[in-house]
Amino acid sequence: MSINSPTSLRSKGLIGYSFMSLGLFFFAVNGPVAKLALINGLQSAELSAFRIEGAFLFLLIASLLFARKKLKVTKKEILPLIGYGFFGVAMTQFLYFVAIRRIEVGVALIIEYTAPILVALYVRFVMKKEVSARVWFSLLLALIGLSLITQIWTGSKLDPFGVLCAFGAAIALAIYFIGGEPLASKRDPISLTTLSMGVGAIFWMIVQPWWTLPWSKLSNQVALPHDLGNVSLGLLVIYIIIFGTVAPFWLYFIAFKFLDSKKAAIFGLLEPVGASVVALFLLGETFIGIQILGGLLVLIGVIFAETARK
């Protein structure tokens, strides 16, 4: 059987979507957990620094123990890895956090998730590959759905710099998907995750050095929803590092071996929908009818786009 036969391509797609679905699940659960950490004493920049620096430390130890030889980097890989780690990993989070400090979270989220459109434009005009009208329509449908979920019309006056940062986050997210595909084809997932996270960690060590982090707050007790008891803030941070960062990034890099950047970016539109559903159960947040409609539109848009031939 040819590796490019329809059956083989379907098998690759199924493997890719399986890994990305699991990673998307971890990212979705991480949203409400991170919200618990943020409303119980941590600032967004502090949590980001704990998350990226902690994830790199965890990955570096794991790589040194189990995949030391795979950490070797050739001269040709240095600049792509630095660029990817800085723009695709560090800037995605940093610019989003700056944006939500100045504009409504829903507005920032909608702007950031224009990234699949940027990926489609890259595929069409840079890679010179055809993108069907069905994909463009599906992307529009998904963005309308996200607008309904976040109810962006209820937001306050837009801050120009906040909007600019949100668009910067969209570009960074597009770089994450576009750059992840070729890098994942040449490297194993654990070394790629470690190296790209390492670049992000260096950035956060400059922006938020480890000795300035509020270590004393980690012993604070956090009340879990639904009367599930209390856990320390430090335990939440450890969860965010391992299951909200290391695991989903690693799973996404595996998925990039089987999915092209366009399909991966469009499938990623389900992440904010998943986070909203998880928040519904974990945090007791509620959906109104128009938000449920928005979630269905995103789901339909993603299905339409992923089943398109081009």
Per-residue pLDDT, 156: 54
pLDDT of residue 174 exceeding 70: yes
The whole-number pLDDT of residue 150 equals 74
pLDDT value at residue 251 = 95
pLDDT at 44: 82
Q: Inform me whether the pLDDT recorded for 75 exceeds 80.
A: yes
Which whole number is the average pLDDT over 277-291?
75
Instruction: Provide the pLDDT confidence category of residue 307 given band limits of 50, 70 and 90.
Output: confident
Q: What's the pLDDT score for residue 128? A: 87
pLDDT in the model for residue 2: 46
Give me the pLDDT at residue 309, please: 61
Euclidean distance between CA atoms 8 and 2, whole angstroms: 7
Region at 149 (left for phi over 0; alpha for psi -120 to 50; beta for the rest): alpha
Q: Is the pLDDT of residue 8 over 70?
A: no
Give CA separation, 255 vs 14, 28, 93, 184, 304, in Å. Answer: 10, 17, 21, 9, 20
pLDDT at 189 over 70: yes
**Average pLDDT of span 94-117:** 80
Mean pLDDT of 169-176: 93
DSSP symbol at 223:
E
Each residue's pLDDT tens digit, 118-157: 998 898 888 888 888 888 988 988 888 888 877 766 755 6
Domain ranges of the chain: 6-306
Tell me the pLDDT tens digit for each residue of 202-257: 999 998 888 999 999 999 999 888 777 899 999 999 999 999 999 999 999 999 99
